[in-house]
Amino acid sequence: MKRALLVLALCGVAHAAPELADYDPHSTAWNGMAQFVALAEGMGFDVTPVTELEWSDLSSKDILFLVYPLRRVDPNRLTAFVQAGGNVVIADDFGEGKDAMTGLGLLRAEPGSPKSSRYYEGRLWAPIATATSDHPIARDVGEVVTNHPASLHQVEGATTVVGFDDGALVVAGERGTGKFVAVADPSIFINRMQQDPFHGNVALTVNILGWLSRDGQAKHIVLLRGDVAMYGEPQPFIDDPHNGKLGRSIAEINTWLWSRHEWLLTATAMKAVAGGLAACLLLLAFVALPVRRGPKIDGAWLKFSRPARRDDPHALVANADQALGSNLVLACILRDQAQTYLAEATGRAEGLYTVPEAELVALVSNARGTLAGVALARVYRRLRALPSRGQAAAPWSSGSLTRRDFESLYEDVAELCRTLGHELTEAKNAA
C-alpha 171/C-alpha 155 separation (Å) is: 8
- When pLDDT is averaged across residues 290-317 and rounded to a whole number, the result is 57
Domain count, the chain: 2
Domain boundary among 253, 268, 283: 253
Q: Report pTM.
A: 0.55
The last residue of one of the domains, among 216, 236, 253, is: 253
Predicted pLDDT at 144: 94
Average the pLDDT over 339-343 and give the result.
88
Residues 224 and 346 in one domain: no
User: How high is the pLDDT of residue 316?
Assistant: 47
Percent over 70 (pLDDT), the chain: 77
240 and 317 within one domain: no
Is residue 276 included in any domain, yes or no? Answer: no
Q: Is residue 273 part of a domain?
A: no
Strand, coil or helix: what is 176?
coil
Q: Has residue 280 been placed in a domain?
A: no
pLDDT band at 349 (very low <50, low <70, confident <90, very high): confident
User: What is the model's pLDDT at position 409?
Assistant: 87
> Does 196 have pLDDT greater than 70?
yes
Upper half-sphere CA count for residue 256 (Cβ side, 13 Å): 6
The closest alpha carbon to 344, from 373, 365, 364, 369, belongs to 364
Among candidate residues 5, 324, 367, 377, the one with its CA nearest the CA of residue 174 = 377
Tell me: do 155 and 240 sit in the same domain: yes
pLDDT at residue 313 greater than cutoff 90: no
The answer to the question of residue 78 being in a domain is yes
Q: Which of 204, 234, 253 is the last residue of a domain?
A: 253
For residue 388, being part of any structural domain is answered with yes
- The answer on pLDDT for 148 being more than 80 is yes
Cα angle 59-60-63, degrees, rounded to a multiple of 5: 85
52 or 259, which is more confident? 52
Indicate whether 415 and 341 sit together in one domain.
yes
User: 295 pLDDT exceeds 70?
Assistant: no
Has residue 299 been placed in a domain? no
Cα 73 from Cα 225, distance rounded (Å): 12
Contact in structure between 405 and 193 (CB atoms under 8 Å)? no
Residues 244 and 328 in one domain: no
Q: Is cis: bond before 25, omega within 30 of 0?
A: no
Q: Is residue 212 part of a domain?
A: yes
Of 188, 179, 178, residue with least CA distance to 67: 188
Return the number of other C-beta atoms located less than 10 Å from residue 87's C-beta. 28
319-335 pLDDT, tens per residue?
544 544 478 888 888 88
Indicate whether 286 belongs to any domain: no
Q: Are residues 143 and 55 in the same domain?
A: yes
* 246 lies in the same domain as 319: no
**Co-location of 380 and 242 in the same domain:** no
Q: How far is Cα 164 from Cα 388, in angstroms, rounded to an integer?
A: 46
Q: What rounded mean pLDDT belongs to the chain?
A: 81
Q: 157: domain CATH number?
A: 3.40.50
| 378-382 contacts, C-beta under 8 A, 24 or more apart | 378/412, 378/415, 378/416, 379/338, 379/409, 379/412, 379/413, 379/416, 380/352, 381/357, 382/409, 382/412
How far apart are alpha carbons 361 and 356 in whole angstroms? Answer: 9
213 shares a domain with 92: yes
Q: Please give the residue range of the domain that contains residue 125.
A: 2-253
Q: What is the pLDDT of residues 110-133, one digit of tens each?
A: 666 788 888 888 888 889 999 988
Same domain for 337 and 234? no
Claim to verify: residue 237 and residue 348 sit in the same structural domain: no
